[in-house]
Amino acid sequence: MERRRRRTAPRPAALLLACAVAVPAMLLAGCSSGGGSGSGGSDASKGTTGSATPTTPALAPAKYASLPGGCATVGATTVTALVPKAKHPGGTPALTDDASTRAGCSWTGNGSDGFQYRWLSVTVQRFTSSATASAEQQAKDRFTDQVALLGKAPGAATSAVAHLGDQASSVTERATVAKVTSQNDTLVARAANVVVIVEYNGAGLEGKKNPTATVVRAGAERAAKDVVTAIVGANS
């Protein structure tokens, strides 16, 4: 029995030695992994912090911050020339939910002899910058869409107009309503972040001749120039 005890006596020492070796190894592993984790975490944190605040370019502010009154967009001289003997020379304002972003007006009359129908309508729409698009880009898109839509009308002819705002196009067509055929021209223009739509129609009644497409287009251009001038004036 004594010999057996002597043989088994070294076991606790062996265990202590094994633990002594194992514990430093674990500590070393712990320090090694902890150091790596700390360093990696710090680098990752730095990387995350750097990418969390990207530089976003600011959208350009709107050039025009206000609109003129709808019926103040076309001068009295122009109204008299395009719509002689207008029923309401001061125009009939269009209904709008927000006059700072959308306004309009129209004039109508049958001319000096009562047989030359004329109709003039103006619509102005102002865009403001949003989170996704600048005011001017929205106006460009609206201009493009409107011209494309008007150009789909049967027999419509679209042509660019020079020296009018930043962009301008004229869409000419003829339309028949209640057996009366009129010569129509719709001019769409863009002045920075504002889109202008001018509609000018003319028809001869009781067998009278219609105005020519050239005359109607010239009238629409004249009115559109007045509108652009009024927009600039309202923001100066």
pLDDT for res 179: 87
Q: Is 233 helix (H, G, I), strand (E, B) or coil?
A: helix
pTM tops 0.85, yes or no: no
Question: Each residue of 78-91: pLDDT tens digit?
Answer: 999 999 999 999 99
Q: What's the pLDDT at 211?
A: 96
What is the C-alpha separation between 82 and 199, in angstroms, rounded? Answer: 12
Exposure class string for 31-45: b at 16+ Cβ within 10 A, else e? eeeeeeeeeeeeeee
What is the model's pLDDT at position 91? 98
pLDDT at 101: 97
Predicted confidence at residue 214, as pLDDT, reads: 97
Q: Report the half-sphere exposure of 75 (CA within 13 A, side-chain side).
A: 12
User: Could you say which residues of the chain have pLDDT below 70?
Assistant: 1-57
